[in-house]
């Protein structure tokens, strides 16, 4: 079993360098109001020296089509991560893969979809707030599609999450920070090490 590891909410070169050293698979850049928000130009500069295989992810929340167009054309992400319903009014180029976000409170309150997208991100009720997702619910979904588990993960619990949920990948943001929006390079490396050791 392989495991995709995404480090999200990057704002500084030192954090990007730590993710590269740790051999993470994907980096997320937030273009929505947040302590981690960056501009498309800032994200592009942070990605100048990325290994070719490392994925660049645009993280948005209910973006206006014009805001998405700016990110799409200037940053040129490999993935767009935003709430599942947002994709109904956004145009993605062929080389950008959708990463629809599903939240546990939404899925607990209604019937689960009859079919799942090819891949999705599953998290707690609020993005970037460090709220742990419902791992039992996530494990059931992971049986049917490629599930990227987010929400409340950190170096201390990621191995347990991987063993319980058996996700396709894991995503961390606040769990590797020393302060909101301030990534800790040591915690990034520790998170990746713990996650890889669990598979």
In tens, the pLDDT along 90-117 reads: 999 999 999 999 988 777 655 666 788 9
What percent of the chain lies above the pLDDT cut of 70? 93
Predicted local distance difference test score (pLDDT) of residue 52: 92
Please, are residues 141 and 116 in contact by the beta-carbon 8 Å criterion? yes
Our count of domains for the chain comes to 1
Measured in degrees and rounded to the nearest 5, phi and psi for residue 82 equal -160, 170
Rounded to two decimals, what is the model's pTM?
A: 0.94
Angle at 18 between CA 131 and CA 38, to 5 degrees: 60
Measured in degrees and rounded to the nearest 5, phi and psi for residue 123 equal -145, -175
Please, are residues 3 and 162 in contact by the beta-carbon 8 Å criterion? yes
CA atoms of 101 and 127, how far apart (whole Å): 9
Measured in degrees and rounded to the nearest 5, phi and psi for residue 58 equal -90, 120
Predicted local distance difference test score (pLDDT) of residue 104: 82
164 alpha-carbon distance from chain centroid: 19
Structure tokens given for 84? 């599942």
Give me the CATH number covering residue 172: 3.20.20.70
Number of helices (H), then strands (E), belonging to the chain: the values are 7, 10
In tens, the pLDDT along 32-76 reads: 999 999 999 999 999 999 999 999 999 999 999 999 999 999 999
CA atoms of 126 and 129, how far apart (whole Å): 6
Structure tokens given for 90? 């956004």
Domain that holds residue 180: 4-197
> By C-alpha distance, which of 176, 119, 169, 168 is closest to 152?
176
């Amino acid at each position: 079993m392989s495991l995709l590891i995404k480090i999200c909410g990057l704002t500084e070169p030192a954090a990007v360098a730590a993710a590269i050293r740790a051999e993470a698979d994907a980096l997320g850049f937030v273009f929505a109001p947040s302590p981690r928000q960056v501009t498309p130009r800032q994200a592009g500069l942070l990605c100048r020296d990325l290994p070719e295989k490392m994925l660049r992810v645009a993280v948005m929340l209910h973006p206006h089509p014009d805001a998405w167009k700016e990110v799409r054309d200037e940053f040129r992400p490999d993935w767009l991560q935003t709430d599942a319903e947002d994709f109904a009014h956004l145009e993605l180029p062929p080389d950008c893969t959708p990463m629809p976000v599903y939240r546990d409170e939404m899925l607990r309150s209604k019937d689960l979809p009859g079919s799942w997208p090819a891949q999705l991100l599953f998290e707690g009720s609020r993005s970037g707030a460090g709220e742990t997702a419902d791992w039992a619910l996530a494990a059931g979904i992971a049986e049917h599609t490629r599930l990227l588990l987010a929400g409340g993960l950190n170096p201390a619990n990621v191995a347990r999450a991987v063993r319980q949920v058996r996700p396709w990948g894991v995503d961390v943001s606040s769990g590797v920070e020393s302060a909101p929006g301030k990534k800790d390079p040591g915690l990034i490396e520790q998170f990746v090490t713990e996650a890889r050791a669990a598979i």
